[in-house]
Every structure is written in C-alpha cells, then in structure tokens.
Homo-oligomer: A and B are copies of this chain.
Amino acid sequence: MEDRAVERADSHINTSLLIQSLQNEEIDIFRNEFLDMHPYDQASFFKDLDEDIRAKIYLYLSPEEMAALFENLEIEEEDYKDVLAEMNPHYAADMLSEMYADDAVDVLNELDKDQVVSYLTIMDDESAKEIKDLLHYEEYTAGSIMTTEFVSLSANQTVRSAMYILKNEAPRAETIYYVYVVNDEKKLIGVISLRDLIVSDDDTMISEITNDRVVSVSVGEDQEEVARKIKDYNFLAVPVVDFQNHLLGIITVDDVMDVMEEEASDDYSKLAAVSDMDHIDRNPVSAARKRLPWLIILLFLGMLTASLIGRFEDTLDKVAILAVFIPLIAGMAGNTGTQALAVAVRGIATGDLEKENKWKLVIREAGTGLINGGICGVLVTFIVYFWKGNFFLGVLVGVSILFTLIVATLAGALIPLLMHRMKIDPAVASGPFITTINDLISILIYFGMATLFMSYLTG
C-alpha cells in the first residue's frame, strides 16, 4: 500500500481515470482522485479540457476547491476572461473570494473594468474590500504582488497564546512560517519565525524572542528589488510597509520566483528584440505581431546604414573589394557591443554595478576593447594579407577592426549606463539599438579610412 502510493506519485496525473469518471458522471470517483492531487497538477489537467467537460468540473467542485486550482492555473493572460465566463457569475465570485487576494487580483487585472465591478459587487464584503485595496497598486511594485493574508501579533503575550492565534489563522494565511510583530498603531516592530516559536518555552514572552532587525520593503518598491532582497537574505517572505512603517501585507517566496522568471525572460527577450515571450504563440499571426514592430524599427535603422554606405559610392566604385569585408567589420562591432552591453545590463539588474564607481566600468571596458581589438586586428591583417596578397588592404581592415572594437565596446557599456541614469530600463535598448549604432560607427571608420588612404589601395 505504502509503496504503491509512492509509485503513483511519479505519474502525478491519472488522466484516463479522471476523464472516464467525468464522462460517466461518477462524481465520487472523480472527487476522490482529483482532490488528492496537488493543485498544480489539477490545473495542468484542467487546462487541456474542452468547455463541456469543464462545465461538469464546476458542478463537481466547490468554489473553494476551484480556487486552489485557479491559483495554479498557467494560461495566457487574455484567456482568464474566457474561463471565468464559462462559470456561473456567483460561482466565479465565490471562487475569487476564496483565492489568496494577490492571486485574485492577478486574475481581475485581466478583465474589463465593468466585469471587475460586477464580480466585486456579488462577492462578500470582506473579500471585496481586500481585493479593492490591492487593485490600486501600480503594476510591478511590491504592492501589486503582496497579499494581505498574513499573521501579525502584539509583543506582550506568551508563546502559548501566539501559537493559539497561529493555529486559528493557519487555514487562511498564505504563510504561517513567519509571524510579524506589530505595535498598537499596527506599525511593524519585528518578526518571529515559526521555528523560533516551536523551540521556545510556552511561557516565554513574544517580546523576548522577537527579532527587531526586520528587513521590510516599501509598498512602492520595484518587484525586482523585492525579489533580490528575498533571494539575498534567503527569506520565505518579506513584510511590505508604507512610509510610516505600517504593516500592509507580505510577499512570499513563491510569488517572487515568478517575478524572477518573468524579469529574466524579459531581459532575454529584449536582447533578442522580441516583445513578451511569456508563452509560446499558438499561430503565426500572433507571433508575427510580436516581432514585426522590432523588425520595422530595425529596417529603418538598417536604411540609415545603407545611406551611410551610399555616401561612399565613389570609393566603392573604385575599390569594389572593400565591400567584401563590410559584414565582417559590422558583425564584429555588433558582437563586441552586445557583449559589453550584456555585462552592463546584468550588472545593473543584479545590483553589482550599484556598489562601484561607474567610471571604473567605462575605463575597464575601454581597456577590454583595446586588448580584444588589438589581437583581432593583428589577426585580420595577416589573414587578409595572405588571402588577397594586398598588405595595405590587410592593414586597413585590421586597423578598422581595432578602432571599431574600442568604440563599439565603449558604446555597449555607456548606453545602458546612460539609460539607467535617465530612469529608462537599460534592457529596452539592447539588441537593436546597439547593433545599429555600431554598424554605423564601424562603416564610418572603415570607409572613412579607405577614402583617406585610397591612393595606397589602388596604387
């Protein structure tokens, strides 16, 4: 029996049994199997069903049971509206009020304003108020991802009475592993972990074991900053306070993991010039729509490069072979710029760059460009010389690579720093911007030098 249980755990979802019991309307068999599953597995199963089978599930599960599933549902943001529309509005409102407030807010944020109002009207007053309060906070701030379902205590009571409160609040609180200590004005004064509570004597006063060096985040703080604090301090949750230090809510580690994945995905998308890659697209039109805006911007930036080369048509007419090395030089500029940019963007994102002098970075990048440009330049000079038998051409391409790499590396480091100072997310500019600017710079250097030293090339 025991070993069988573990074996079953490996497959997690017994899809055929569930489908069969739904089709045969065997409610007990379905509930028995389904409610034994982790809500994440319930949601994975639910996601792939047709609307008519889902309709049965809404009949078989209570709003509370459905809430647990819904909290774990990972579908495209615009699809939440459709799934809610499948439910009876009262069932949907009950389910939303049973969800953790932060998760309910995530769902409601995807609906039209009048739909939100109608659900909040049907909902019980307490949940409606809780959700309304959270709906006010700006996206991507601590306020927008926090939940109000936390446990707080006053300091002048014993561990015994604290444990009693904890047991009562456990079913509703998002975490009971951290308990926050507040004063009479609800200002945050400390934190106790459940670990501290259970190893303490029942008669110990809470004030004796409270850790008053509590790390909190302010309600308007950026969610990325919150994620960094939880990660650095290895917290399971962090309290959220207003500017007068009133305790407003908590943010738990599981919410922060989603933030981390979102932000990493976001930086990655921007480097690759794709907007919003959260989900794999279902059809080419929606995929094209996400990428086309970038491509059109890049197209016009590419036209700039083309018109710059156009200015050197005379030079090109005389020495057509110059064209052969355009992609090489522009490519090296783009690559080295992207490298420098990636280092600077990650440095800003992880906070490593906050701690040191930014000019140091710029000087270091100039050095890096000089070293890499020098090595690559010498290499190219010899390759071109041996290939084309033209020493001056070799030197021209080599020296262009040297200068290009220095300037492109510097541009890659400076642009994100400047954007960060101007309070623009430095990741936005990355891919497209830097590559085009470096295309322009490299072609200016290459053709500028070729035009200047034309006599050596044609001689």
Interface of A toward B, CB cutoff 8 Å: 2-3, 5-6, 8-9, 12, 36-38, 40, 72, 155, 163, 166-167, 170-171, 176-177, 183, 187-190, 194-195, 198-199, 212-216, 230-234, 236, 245, 253-254, 256-258, 260-261, 264-265, 267-269, 271-274, 277, 279-285, 287-288, 291-292, 294-296, 298-299, 302-303, 305-307, 309-310, 313, 316-317, 320-328, 330-332, 334-336, 338-339, 341-343, 346-347, 350, 352-353, 356, 361, 364-368, 370-372, 375-376, 379-380, 383, 387, 405, 431-432, 435-436, 439, 443
Contacts and interface: CB of A to CB of B under 8 A. Distances in A.
Main secondary structure of the interface of A (DSSP, over half): helix
A190 B6 CA distance: 8
A439 B379 contact: no
Given A9-B216, A267-B268, A298-B331, 5 more contacts: A3-B245, A9-B214, A231-B258, A277-B343, A284-B371
A283 B371 CA distance: 12
Nearest to A10: B216
Given A5-B212, A288-B372, A320 B313 contact: yes
A283 B272 CA distance: 28
- Chain A to chain B: the 7 pairs with minimum beta-carbon distance, closest first: A284-B367, A272-B342, A264-B264, A323-B323, A5-B212, A302-B328, A234-B254
Contacts of A342: 268-269, 271-272, 274, 277
Nearest to A311: B324
B190 A5 contact: yes
A323 B343 contact: no
A43 to B, nearest CB: 9
Contact of A236 (B166, B253, B296, B368): B253
